[in-house]
Amino acid sequence: MLERLADLAAEHAQLERDLSDPAVHADQDRARALGRRYSELTPIVHAYSQWRSVSDDEAAAVELAGEDPSFAAEAQQLGRSREELEQRLEHLLVPRDPLDSKDVILEVKAGEGGDESALFAADLLRMYLRYAERQGWKTEILDATVTGLGGYKDVTVAVKAAGRGILAGTPDGAWSLLKYEGGVHRVQRVPVTESQGRIHTSAAGVLVMPEADPVEVSIDPNDLRIDVFRSSGPGGQSVNTTDSAVRITHLPSGIVVSCQNEKSQLQNKEAALRILRARLLTAAQEQADALASAERRSQVSTVDRSQRVRTYNYPENRISDHRVGFKAYNLDQVLDGDLDAVIGALVDADRADKMAAAR
């Protein structure tokens, strides 16, 4: 472990020199990538520096205690501090998701349940927007299909982290926390459309994708078929009056993305390309994961978008995450964006699995 820590400290020092070179910042994509790596290594290097300092002080205190017993208590305290730092370093050295520094594109789609499912999709969107607000993140709705009752047939939102996450050691990217949200979310409640007061069960799907930088996913314009059409929706300026909506088909993969949320064709095209890049990056990552079964086993099984991951039970005010057995009776607070405990349980389970696999 010490050899690896020394190598990481040397890499960190080199990155610091590179980032101080004005020539590096002429290439913004490269500077951004170097900055992310520097941010990832900084907590490890700081902990390693503290460990070396405490270890040296402990060795000196032990030596002095051999001549003067009054130094024995200090040596013991320094020993406990060294052990705590070693545990922290072990935690920091757990293999991390290389995409954790990414921002995300999150899609919520109504599933079984008709209008009730669309209303639940709107509740999930609000939950994620409030969670992002609590984190100090920025959000941007890229596309949405609104239903008559104010629900969403589907909605796509970009989430950009503006600062460090709330969990210790969490890198800057929204992916490091929101990646656990992918899957089928089930709701149990009395719908507003139910006249008999019966509890119904419906579901909505959540897809979370790391947002790809243009340099990471290169798209050949010749591989795209771009169609324009008139926006549809409940009304508003430019809706049903101009061909501003855009549909992009990526011919090699067959992926189709449509955007109609913006007023201009150019804005909708840019939004659609952002979503397309994210989907292509996700497809490439899933293909790589399929070839690395050992790596897959070291991760919490949240990448399966088809599995039911969570239940929201309104009558009992209960939230249940089925992957790690998490259960709490503060559903109203969770729907208001207080996802810290839910996501924290998934982060802890993921970390424990990775630490066990690394041993």
347 shares a domain with 227: yes
18 shares a domain with 157: no
- Which token pair is 217? 């996913």
| CATH number of the domain residue 76 falls in | 1.20.58
274 shares a domain with 134: yes
User: Does 97 reside within a domain?
Assistant: no
Query: For residue 56, what are the domain limits?
Result: 2-92
- Which token pair is 256? 């189709």
Q: How many CA atoms lie within 13 A of 154 on its CB side?
A: 15
334 shares a domain with 240: yes
| DSSP-assigned letter for residue 180 | G
User: Does 98 reside within a domain?
Assistant: no
User: How confident is the model at residue 111, as a pLDDT?
Assistant: 87
Tell me, yes or no, if the pTM score tops 0.85: no
User: How confident is the model at residue 173, as a pLDDT?
Assistant: 83
Q: 140: which strand partners? A: 158
314 shares a domain with 243: yes
Residue 350 neighbours by CB distance under 10 Å:
22
- Which token pair is 24? 């590096």
182 shares a domain with 317: yes
Per the CB < 8 A criterion, the answer to whether 272 and 262 are in contact is no
User: Does 99 reside within a domain?
Assistant: no
Encode the chain (359 residues) as per-residue pLDDT tens digits.
788 899 999 999 999 999 999 999 999 888 888 988 898 899 999 999 999 999 999 999 999 988 888 889 999 999 999 999 998 888 888 877 878 888 999 999 998 778 899 999 999 999 999 999 999 999 999 999 998 888 999 999 999 986 444 443 444 689 999 999 999 999 999 988 777 888 988 999 999 999 887 767 878 889 999 998 887 655 444 445 567 899 999 999 999 999 988 888 899 999 999 999 999 988 887 777 665 444 333 333 333 334 689 999 999 999 999 999 999 999 999 999 999 999 999 998 988 888 777 66
| CATH number of the domain residue 300 falls in | 3.30.70.1660
- Which token pair is 113? 């349940």
- Reference 307, options 163, 181, 154, 177; nearest CA is 181
The last residue of one of the domains, among 42, 69, 92, is 92
Q: Could you give the CA distance from residue 212 to residue 99 in angstroms, rounded to a whole number?
A: 10
User: How confident is the model at residue 215, as a pLDDT?
Assistant: 63
- Digit-coded pLDDT (tens) for 62-108: 999 888 888 899 999 999 999 999 988 888 888 778 788 889 999 99
The last residue of one of the domains, among 36, 66, 92, is 92
User: How confident is the model at residue 76, as a pLDDT?
Assistant: 93
What SS3 class is residue 60?
A: helix
Residue 248 burial (CB < 10 Å; 0-12/13-18/19+)? Answer: buried
144 shares a domain with 16: no
222 shares a domain with 326: yes
User: How confident is the model at residue 238, as a pLDDT?
Assistant: 44
Pairing outcome for strands 183-189 and 200-210: antiparallel
Share of the chain residues as helix, strand and coil, in percent rounded to the nearest 5:
45, 20, 35
219 shares a domain with 184: yes
36 shares a domain with 137: no
111 shares a domain with 86: no
Instruction: Provide the number of structural domains found in the chain.
Output: 2
| Cα separation values, 304 from 134, 208, 209, 257, Å | 27, 11, 13, 21
Q: How many CA atoms lie within 13 A of 170 on its CB side?
A: 22
273 shares a domain with 165: yes
User: How confident is the model at residue 168, as a pLDDT?
Assistant: 37
